Amino acid sequence: MAGIYKDILDEDRQALFNISSDKWRHLNDYFTSFADGMSRRNMNHSLILNFKKDGHGCSKACEYCNWRNSSFTKELCHPSYTSLANFLKDFWGYRVTFSGGGDPLYDYENFKLTLKNLSDEVKTLGFLPCLITREYETAVDAQGLFHQISFSVDSKNGDARYAMEEIYARKIVTIVYDPARPLTFYKDLYDYFAPSVSHMIIRQDMNELWMCSDPALQIKLKRNILLAMFRAMNARVQFLPGEACLDAYYLMGKEERLGRDLFAPDRVR
Binding site for ligand SF4 (CB under 6 A): 58, 60-62, 65, 67-68, 100, 102-103, 134
CA distance 133 to 150: 7
CA distance 72 to 70: 5
Residue 219: enclosing H or E segment and its boundaries?
A: helix 213-232
Nearer to ligand SF4, 91 or 136 (CB): 136
CB of 61 to ligand SF4, least distance (A): 6
Which residue type occupies 266?
D
CB of 263 to ligand SF4, least distance (A): 12
**204-222 as b/e: b if 16+ CB within 10 A:** bebebbeeeeeeeeebeeb
Contacts of 93 (CB under 8 A, 6+ apart): 41, 42, 43, 44, 45, 127
Which SS3 state, helix, strand or coil, does residue 202 take?
Answer: strand
Contacts of 67 (CB under 8 A, 6+ apart): 56, 58, 73, 100, 101, 102
Nearer to ligand SF4, 68 or 170 (CB): 68
Which residue type occupies 267?
R
Nearer to ligand SF4, 19 or 62 (CB): 62
Angle (CA) 101 103 109, round 5°: 130
CB of 106 to ligand SF4, least distance (A): 8
Q: Are strands 199-204 and 95-100 parallel, antiparallel or unpaired?
A: unpaired
CA distance 165 to 5: 53
Nearer to ligand SF4, 84 or 176 (CB): 176
Nearer to ligand SF4, 67 or 186 (CB): 67
CA distance 236 to 136: 21
CB of 108 to ligand SF4, least distance (A): 14
Residues for the chain: how many in total?
269
Nearer to ligand SF4, 87 or 151 (CB): 151
